[in-house]
Structure 1
Amino acid sequence: MKMLLSITTILLFISCNNFSKTENTTIQPPEKSKINVIKLADSFGTVSISLPLRYDTNFSWTHHSDCGSPCDKIKYRFQPKSLPIIEENGWMWSDLKDSIERFTIVHSAYVYPFNPNSDTAYLRKQHAKKKAELLIEANSYKIKSDTIEKIDDYYFSIFLIDLYDSTKLQYSKKVLAGTYIKNNSVEFNFELLTKQKDSLKDKFLDNSLYFLKTIRIEN
């Protein structure tokens, strides 16, 4: 079943291997932020997350794949309007070479009505599988830490990526997280690619992890 998503998808705005549970926090946000509520396609419900005010541009699209609708992905992205916009498409694409700062939600355009392997034990297996894949791609990913953590009522597989390319003099930092909503895999990814040595680079992982823990899912 092929799910199409127009660019008018509703986005509503309201202003390894260790286990732990994240409680509602009263810690002061690391920077000025607001709560965003994203209505996901195909009855997945809504996701609310606090994001920096700098993430003032948002858009969504269907990332079509050469293998057909079962491989298509629906993506929802937030980023500063000052940075270039790119919408990945196809099996291969050219991403930006510098100046990336963004938060993206990703889920399949093909909805699996029942997936018996979406429990916590399966999440642990998928976490281990992804870790092995990231370790193989050492030139693109360097794992700083990884964990499985409970945020609200959902277990998340979380990887912190911290890579410096000495040839390009470039920093790549990512928080890659995933969980299951209605038995379907959903990713929540923060990404930074920069040559700047500044506080944004220094604090990106810690700040992104803070915002990740503000996620609340309603379905």
Structure 2
Amino acid sequence: MHAINTKEITQVFDNGNHRVTAVDKVTLQIHQGELIAITGRSGSGKSTLLYQLAGLLHPSSGTLHYGENQPYKLSTNKLNQFRAEHIGMIYPDFRLLPYLNVIENIQSPSLALNMTDDEVKQRALDLISSFSLQDRVNHLPSALSSGEQQRVALARALFTSPSTIIADEPTGNLDEANSHKLISTLKNYAEQGNVVIIATHDPLVMKAADRQLQMKQGQLSQALT
């Protein structure tokens, strides 16, 4: 069984008299343990496809399956819970909550889950230790470097041990050393039987990927390597 399966998912944006097809009938199968790199020029539809896969943007048409589950057939509350349990999202601008400190940002996904306070705290502390953020626990995002913010964003995405990580240009604001660390973490996570999907322009990500797919004018194809 495919971990993720789409059939002709499409996204059309209607701006008055102008209709834009950002994602055009994309059919995709992803297996457990795969790291997928999606490449393409800016405006090709990469980010829109990622938001569809993440349960953040309801497709205009087509279907999305996570195993036997169809996220977009769930109620809003059930969809939010499904996302919190099964999908970790990493944004290009990190999207850390500016008024929360490091540990509060990392444990924010727990708000949608039935976890005790002790479980939440212990999970957050484990991730803080894993990503060497012990000296930054009480810092706000504004006091962190780009590399530290990215580590917090990654720890937050991993908080619920989701089966899928979706990352939009995760190395775009990082230097080469921090990019290598991030890619290594995501590669290891995929090798544990999870799915990692990355939209990227970064050759380092492309090299680490099990498959490269290319978006062009909303359509997805196997990239030539």
Q: TM-score, normalised by structure 1?
A: 0.31
**Structure with greater strand percent:** 1
Of structures 1 and 2, the one with the larger relative CO (CA 8 A, separation 6+) is 2
Q: TM-score, normalised by structure 2?
A: 0.31
**Structure with greater helix percent:** 2
